[in-house]
Amino acid sequence: MSKIRMINVTKTYLPDKDKYKKYIDEIFANGWVTNNGPLVRRLERRLADYLGVKNIILVANGTAALEIAYRTLDIKGYAVTTPFSFVATTSSLVTNGIKPIFADINPNTLNIDPKNIKNAITKSTSVIVPVHVFGNGCEVEEIEQIAKDNKLKVIYDAAHAFDVQYKGQSILNYGDISALSFHATKLFHTIEGGALIITDDSLVEKARYLINFGIQNKESIPELGTNAKMNEFEAAMGLCVLDEIENIKTMRKEVYEIYNKELYGIVELQQKNENSTLNHSYFQIILKNEEQTFKIQKALIDEHIFPRRYFFPSLDSLSYIEPKQFMSNSRDISRRILSLPLYPELTKSEQIHIISVIKDNI
Ligand SMILES: Cc1ncc(COP(=O)(O)O)c(C=O)c1O
């Protein structure tokens, strides 16, 4: 019996196995498996160079990167953030005792709208937490100005923004801290993993204690910390994936461009920031209404193709949000958006099939 091939929304990129084994041999030879090992340090140096950033700290995952960012900057009180993101953007705030106040998105770019940020700021606001949604650069200069005018910190959830440039330099250099995710589904990954990009050099040492229980040295524990360390096996995966990143980017770009060419004018697409580059990590279609979204989703699932309602639900609707809030653009978009399969190994014929199912059901 022939096995039906399922097409999921994403598929983890696995690099050359022999190369990974060489790193594993290295780990076994020196016996150093975690606690700021040589491969973690090597990956930090290579990523800083590749991304064009000054200070990078590798951590266990993107959620931990956000949480360490809040603690590094001593964030208390209220955060102005976007309701249209993955749940970790909001849940990481709530876990750290910070109350999210949402500023609705621009329904075209899907990013937080700077004019709504201004309206959401109060005396108790201490930070703005925007997200470069699907790698689409936020209006970083406008956000920087708002933060300056109101004496606020800016922490970018840059989980999707690996290798995105804004006006010729890394978008990760904007704001006080950017938090990246290197989860297995991401463009660049370390199985589980993440990173903090820190603008102010004087905060780097504190962030390093915080990921290691607050320990500065054997006799000094100056901060309340946690355990958010990346291990050597994860760093080895990152080193292997980084060697192949140009190829991964080219393959993703090819898939992205076919979707863009074939679906442009047929469905709504995210409007991209003209000042920032694309990393071709995701491709979303926005349908007319929820009914049409369910119809397309079902038609694809019937063909063993699994798009994802990403992001859904809108984060202002989460049960644990207090005070209750209602962000109409985010709620509307989250009900009629679908993420299409996008990964390097997706074949052209699979992609043509996906596109024809969508076109036949519009
Ligand atoms: C926008 C966004 N923020 C945060 C995260 C959390 O990252 P991680 O899964 O590495 O904890 C993700 C993860 O997928 C994400 O998409």
- Rounded Cα distance, 92 and 155, in Å: 12
Residue 14 CB burial class (10 angstroms; 0-12, 13-18, ≥19)? middle
Helix (H) or strand (E) holding 180: strand 177-181
Q: Is the CB of 172 under 6 A from ligand 1?
A: no
CA distance 145 to 282: 29
- Asked whether this chain's domains 17-243 and 245-361 adopt the same fold, the reply is no
Tokens at 52, concatenated: 């064009």
Q: Is the CB of 85 under 6 A from ligand 1?
A: yes
Quick check: 1 pLDDT over 80?
no
**Is 80 exceeded by the pLDDT of residue 348?**
yes
Is residue 5 very low, low, confident or very high in pLDDT (cuts 50, 70, 90)?
A: confident
Asked whether the CA dihedral 332, 334, 335, 340 is positive or negative, the reply is positive
β-strand 284-286 against 177-181: which pairing, if any? unpaired
> At residue 243, what are phi and psi to the nearest 5 degrees?
-60, -30
Instruction: Using the mean position of ligand 1's atoms as its centre, give its distance from the Cα of residue 220 in Å.
Output: 32
**Measured distance CA(309)–CA(293) in Å, rounded:** 9
Cα–ligand 1 centroid distance for 193 (angstroms): 10
Check whether domain 245-361 has CATH 3.90.1150.10, yes or no: yes
Q: For the residues 92-100, what does the mean pLDDT come to?
A: 98
CB 307 within 8 A of CB 9: yes
Q: What is the average per-residue pLDDT within 83-109? A: 98
Q: How far is the CA of 63 from the centre of ligand 1 (A)?
A: 6
Neighbouring residues of 145: CB distance < 8 A, sequence distance ≥ 6: none
pTM of the model: 0.97
User: In this structure, what is the dihedral angle of CA atoms 241, 244, 248, 251, given to the nearest 10 degrees?
Assistant: -150
What would the pLDDT profile of 291-345 be if each residue is shown by its tens digit?
999 999 999 999 999 999 999 999 999 999 999 999 999 999 999 999 999 999 9
Percent of the chain having pLDDT more than 90? Answer: 98
Helix (H, G, I), strand (E, B) or coil at 155: strand
- The pLDDT value given to residue 2: 59
Q: What's the pLDDT tens digit per position in 25-67?
A: 999 999 999 999 999 999 999 999 999 999 999 999 999 999 9
d(CA 36, CA 55): 15
Q: Which one, of 220, 206, 213, lies nearest residue 74 by Cα? A: 206
* Averaged confidence pLDDT in the chain: 97
pLDDT at 163 over 70: yes
CATH number for the domain whose boundaries are 17-243 = 3.40.640.10
pLDDT reported for residue 4: 75
Neighbours of 218 (CB within 10 A): 6
Tokens of 226: 């946690």
User: Which ligand 1 atom lies nearest to the CA of residue 194?
Assistant: 10
Q: Tens of pLDDT along 279-298?
A: 999 999 999 999 999 999 99
Q: How far apart are CA 346 and CA 343, in angstroms?
A: 6
Domain boundaries, the chain: 17-243, 245-361
b (16+ CB within 10 A) / e for 50-64: ebebebbbbbbbbbb
Cβ of 183 closer than 6 Å to ligand 1, yes or no, is yes
**Residue among 181, 190, 312 whose CB has most ligand 1 atoms within 8 A, to mutate:** 181
pLDDT at 131: 98
- Cα(86) to ligand 1 centroid in Å equals 6
Cβ of residue 139 lying under 6 Å from some atom of ligand 1:
no
> Which amino acid makes up residue 84?
F
Reported in sequence order, the residue ranges of 287-336 that DSSP labels E, i.e. its strands, are 305-306
In the predicted model, is pLDDT for residue 3 greater than 80? no
Ligand 1: does its nearest atom lie under 6 Å from the Cβ of 61? yes
